[in-house]
Amino acid sequence: MSTSAELQRRRTFAIISHPDAGKTTLTEKFLLFGGAIQTAGAVKSNKIKKSTTSDFMDIERQRGISVATSVMTFEYNDTLINILDTPGHKDFAEDTYRTLTAVDSVILVVDCVKGVEEQTEKLMEVCRMRNTPVIIFVNKLDREGKDPFDLLDELEEKLTISVRPLSWPISMGARFKGVYKLIDHSLVLFRPGGQKIADDILEVNDLSDSILDDKLGADADQLREEVELIEGVYEPFQEQLYQEGLLAPVFFGSAINNFGVRELLDTFTRIAPVPGSREADIREVKPTEDKFSGFVFKIHANIDPRHRDRIAFLRVCSGKFERNTFYHHVRLNKKLRFNSPVTFMAQSKNIIDESYPGDVIGLYDTGNFKIGDTLTQGEAINFKGIPSFSPEIFKELINLDPMKAKQMDKGIQQLSDEGVVQLFIQQPGNRKIVGTVGELQFDVITHRLKHEYGASCRFDQLKYFKACWITSDDEKKIDEFCDRKSSYIALDKDKNKVFLAESAWILKVAQDDFPDIVFHQNSEFKTTLPVK
Ligand code: G4P
């Protein structure tokens, strides 16, 4: 198959949701449809559920939350689908943001009982800023949830995006009967607990068809009224608006019952964008270009705890990636060759010979990669869009075992390269200030430093409010500022200067006193995301 044909059949997307909305369950149903897993009943089993997806780390097993982001590839209707799973837990939000840089579209899962939750709103903000096309799946219709019209209003209001239902639920909870597909006017009837892949579908040419009354009883008239209302209120679905990230089609269903999933997947494969162009520092890179390029958006250590292996997850952006070929590591200005690049399917990894734009491959790494690194066939370009954001919590890392100082240094450095933490070094004394989005990450760090590097540590809370990257056209101003505020200046992993502000007021005073200095909210020196 030609590179362009390979490109055309690829769809790379992430499923995102507030924890517990059903992201994992939906992912597994997708895999079932794609034949990537065989056990239809497996989805109900905790064992399979907890070990099929992103369960690479011990700590995740202990906590039962998705710490890691994993990648799964399967084929459906001749389409090659790469799903990037994301941790729903807010403490790992940065990991999710980075993953969103590597996808072309998103499926957002919302629980019909809970509606739009906090994490959903934040994730959607990231999608909106990147104009990522979003399809919404309203899940758990087998439960008594919010009124579907209210839900649509809530989606529009809280997610600040226009929505357009493409399927419509017929009642819900114990009375849930199925969905009416607004796209092709067919009725899909619900059978609770159905684990089979095929649904019962009835073609209905006309809503006045008496078959509706036979199958739905009193709910038939209500459906007729609601469909009329929808068609009156909502504009017909426009694919173009979806592709531009302005309009989100909405599906209703129940992932656990395997209901509404096929409609979602069919529409997804039809309308979701193929791998698109990517912004690099000096130019835009098109997927159709002959020469290979890609960037690392995630690094995962110790997938197999018996070996100290790291895997860098690379999104292929252009050309064809080939095994055993030398590529140019732009930051290190070094040639690297990979003899066992892998793709992922649940916990199994398969060595691949070639990959195409949209694919995510795992490269075994001995410490060459940092998040954001670019590989090319020689050109010195750097892909943009993987900034660090100001952490929310800051603590000083204190080594508890002087004999293990080297191990701790190495460990925290690697965790910083992986993007698990942000490390700021402050002088004098090489103080290590660790910044994270959530408390949970400190547990992860302590656990990993102990188990992977044999280093014991403690964290002392610091009262910082924000880390701001500082730049100025006038270097002297920076020097002056750093002299004046020396105890609040630190260097980030790339040796950029950062001002650690203790409060919003202190930050404001600093800005007022030093108008020639720009206080950046993220490490890419342009604010693309709110610092919240
Ligand atoms: P997440 O990845 O978004 O965190 O959610 P996950 O799929 O783990 O689902 C969260 C819980 O919601 C699970 O129950 C799951 O079985 C349930 N669930 C998913 N889809 C549906 C649905 O369509 N209807 C109903 N009623 N429940 C659904 P759990 O008790 O936390 O786990 P488990 O013991 O069932 O595995």
pTM score of the predicted model? 0.83
Q: Note whether 346 and 366 are same-domain residues.
A: yes
Residue 386 lies in a domain: no
CB of 139 closer than 6 angstroms to any ligand 1 atom: yes
Residue 442 structure tokens: 């400190």
Closest atom of ligand 1 to 254 CA is 23
27 CA to centre of ligand 1 in angstroms: 11
Q: Please count the helices (runs of H) and the strands (runs of E) in the chain.
A: 15, 31
Local confidence band at 222 (pLDDT 50, 70, 90 cut-offs):
very high
Task: Report the alpha-carbon distance of residue 262 to residue 284 in Å, rounded.
Answer: 35
Ligand 1 geometric centre to CA of 197 (Å): 18
Shared domain for 91 and 192, answered yes or no, is yes
In a mutational test of the pocket of ligand 1, which residue from 17, 23, 25, 65 has the highest number of ligand atoms less than 8 Å from its CB? Answer: 25
Three-class secondary structure of residue 77 per DSSP = coil
Q: What are the tens digits of pLDDT across the range 320-367? A: 999 999 999 999 999 999 999 988 765 566 788 999 999 999 898 888
Residue after which a domain boundary falls, among 320, 351, 376:
376
Cα-based torsion angle of the residue sequence 431, 432, 433, 434 in order, rounded to the nearest 10 degrees:
-170
Domain CATH code at residue 411: 3.30.70.3280
Instruction: Judge whether 201 lies within some domain.
Output: yes
Q: Locate the ligand 1 atom nearest the alpha carbon of residue 49 and give its number.
A: 36
Using pLDDT thresholds of 50, 70 and 90, give the confidence band for residue 9: very high
Asked if 319 and 175 sit in the same domain, the reply is: no
- CATH number, domain of 304, equals 2.40.30.10
Atom index in ligand 1 nearest the CA of residue 45 equals 36
Same domain, 319 and 251: no
How far apart are the C-alpha atoms of 422 and 419, rounded to whole Å? 7
Same domain membership, residue 282 and residue 265? no
Does 336 share its domain with 461? no
- pLDDT class for 447, splitting at 50, 70, 90? confident
CA dist., res. 170 & res. 114, Å (int): 19
Residue 395: beta bridge partners?
434, 461
Q: What is the CATH number of the domain that holds 41?
A: 3.40.50.300
Contact 456, 405 (CB under 8 A): no
Is the CB of residue 142 less than 8 Å from the CB of residue 179? no
User: 């009642």: which residue's tokens?
Assistant: 171
Integer angstrom CA distances of residue 512 from 304, 470, 506, 515 = 51, 14, 10, 6
In angstroms, the CA 206 to CA 186 distance is 9
Cα 121 to Cα 80: distance, rounded to the nearest angstrom: 29
**94 assigned to some structural domain:** yes
What separation in Å is there between the alpha carbon of 21 and the centre of ligand 1? 7
DSSP state of 132: -
Residue 285 pLDDT more than 50? Answer: yes
Whole-number Å distance, alpha carbon 267 to ligand 1 midpoint, is 23
Same domain, 350 and 414: no
Q: 117-167 pLDDT, tens per residue?
A: 888 888 888 888 789 999 999 999 999 999 999 999 999 999 999 999 999
The tokens for 154 are 């809530």
Do 197 and 254 reside in the same domain of the chain?
yes
User: How many domains in the chain?
Assistant: 3
Q: Please say which residue of 241, 271, 301 terminates a domain.
A: 271
Both 75 and 16 in one domain: the answer is yes
3-state secondary structure of 442: helix
Let me know whether 352 and 479 are in one domain: no
Of 178, 170, 418, 177, the C-alpha closest to 309 is 418
Segments forming the whole domain that contains residue 42: 3-271
Q: Give the separation between CA 94 and CA 86, rounded to whole angstroms.
A: 10
Q: For ligand 1, say whether the CB of 143 is within 6 Å of any of its atoms.
A: yes
- Distance between Cα 57 and ligand 1 center (Å): 21
Cis check: omega of the bond before 287, within 30 degrees of 0: no
Q: Are 437 and 301 members of one domain?
A: no
